[in-house]
């Protein structure tokens, strides 16, 4: 299956390593992407709290473009983008007034339902067996805390994906890479999200609690699927260290980076060297002999 691809703003800027690693991984697994032509910001994270009409139109413009491009589905790797796309799509599907208002703004009539997938759905649907078949590196020493955050599985009535309180889909993908996944308490807790700039103090404290719980439960790496979560959990560790001098640097990887490591790619190729925290297991993993 060929998937429509909506990278969103983050994957072309602050989270470019997410885009780099995703493209490397899907190429290795034989999954095809067709990037949406002329895509634009979906409205996350500010538009939907300031102007409901604009936020719906921004998200639906990208779905309109996918439809005009002849695509049947969209992959939105950013959890915030995924959330905005499916919520906006749900609103125009259930509320005729919002649908007409949005269609009038965009000068279009929506004719078909475009299925919007998140990154976990992509690998569950098209990648788990391929990951296992193409695995090249031993990752058994990695014990991952799978962090879903707020937006990937909520609101449950709309996402209809995994359990909103005890999700396990990311763990299945992690296990396919040969790494282990720990059972911990904060996998769906908020990291502070977009308050990272306006209320850094809140973000530092929330993110510190998340990292500490992961460490307490035996994790030696955190795996995320959201650029905003990665920013808070990775970049804010310097601020954590200033506030909590006993804080020990803890690596945070995108799911696609961990998959890429299992497929035999190196740290720089996947963009892991662009992170603020050091992935201290990289040398050990990269020195492991490849399978077969």
β partners of residue 24: none
2-119 and 136-287 in the same fold: no
Q: At a CB cut-off of 8 Å and minimum separation 6, what does 187 contact?
A: 145, 146, 147, 148, 167
Domain boundaries along the sequence of the chain: 2-119, 136-287
Q: Model pTM?
A: 0.95
Residue 48 has pLDDT above 80, yes or no: no
Give the C-alpha separation, 9 to 83, whole Å. 14
pLDDT at residue number 292: 44
Q: What is the DSSP letter of 51?
A: -
pLDDT at residue number 196: 75
Distance of CA 96 to the CA centre of its chain: 31
Locus of tokens 């691809």: 5
Q: What is the mean pLDDT of the chain?
A: 93
Residue 283 has pLDDT above 90, yes or no: no
**In CATH, what class is 136-287?**
alpha beta
As given in the structure block, the two tokens for residue 83 are: 């959330």
Give the C-alpha separation, 260 to 262, whole Å. 5
Terminal-to-terminal C-alpha distance of the chain = 29
Phi/psi of residue 242, nearest 5 degrees:
-70, -40
Give the C-alpha separation, 105 to 110, whole Å. 12
Q: Which CA distances in Å does 116 have to 29, 62, 72, 231?
A: 20, 11, 9, 24
Give the C-alpha separation, 212 to 152, whole Å. 22
Give the pLDDT confidence of 246-274 residue by residue, as tens digits: 999 999 999 999 999 999 999 999 999 99
Query: What percentage of the chain has pLDDT greater than the value 70?
Result: 96
Give the C-alpha separation, 280 to 6, whole Å. 32
pLDDT at residue number 289: 43
Q: Residue 284: pLDDT band by 50, 70, 90 thresholds?
A: confident
| Alpha-carbon Rg for the chain in angstroms | 19
As given in the structure block, the two tokens for residue 237 are: 């560790």
Give the pLDDT confidence of 187-235 residue by residue, as tens digits: 999 999 777 777 889 999 999 999 999 999 999 999 999 999 999 999 9
To the question of domain 2-119 being in CATH 3.20.20.70, the answer is no
Residue 47 has pLDDT above 70, yes or no: no
Give the pLDDT confidence of 54-67 residue by residue, as tens digits: 899 999 999 999 99
As given in the structure block, the two tokens for residue 166 are: 């005890």
Residue 177's H or E segment, with its range, is: helix 169-177
- The answer to whether residues 257 and 271 touch, using CB atoms and an 8 Å cutoff, is yes
pLDDT at residue number 288: 63
């Amino acid at each position: 299956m060929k998937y429509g691809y909506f990278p969103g703003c983050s994957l072309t800027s602050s989270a470019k390593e997410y885009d780099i690693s995703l493209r490397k991984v899907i190429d290795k697994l034989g999954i095809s992407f067709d990037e949406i032509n002329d895509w634009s910001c979906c409205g996350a994270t500010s538009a939907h709290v300031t102007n409901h009409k604009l936020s719906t139109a921004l998200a639906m413009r990208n779905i309109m473009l996918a439809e005009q491009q002849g695509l049947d589905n969209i992959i939105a790797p950013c959890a915030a983008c995924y959330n905005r796309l499916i919520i906006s799509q749900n609103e125009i599907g259930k509320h005729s007034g919002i649908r007409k208002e949005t269609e009038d703004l965009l000068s279009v009539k929506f004719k078909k339902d475009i299925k919007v997938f998140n990154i976990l759905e992509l690998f569950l649907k098209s990648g788990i067996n391929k990951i296992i078949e193409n695995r090249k590196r031993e990752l058994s020493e990695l014990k991952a805390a799978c962090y879903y955050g707020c937006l990937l599985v909520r609101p449950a009535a709309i996402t209809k994906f995994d359990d909103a309180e005890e999700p396990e889909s990311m763990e299945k993908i992690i296990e396919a890479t040969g790494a282990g996944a720990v059972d911990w308490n904060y996998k769906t807790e908020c990291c502070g999200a977009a308050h990272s700039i306006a209320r850094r103090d809140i973000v530092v404290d929330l993110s510190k609690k998340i990292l500490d719980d992961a460490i307490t439960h035996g994790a030696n790496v955190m795996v995320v699927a959201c650029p905003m979560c990665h920013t808070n959990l990775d970049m804010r560790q310097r601020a954590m260290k200033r506030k909590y001098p006993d804080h020990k640097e803890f690596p945070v990887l995108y799911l696609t980076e961990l998959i890429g490591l299992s497929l035999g790619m190196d740290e720089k190729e996947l963009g892991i060297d662009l992170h603020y925290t050091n992935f201290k297991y990289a040398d050990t993993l990269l020195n492991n002999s490849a399978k077969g």
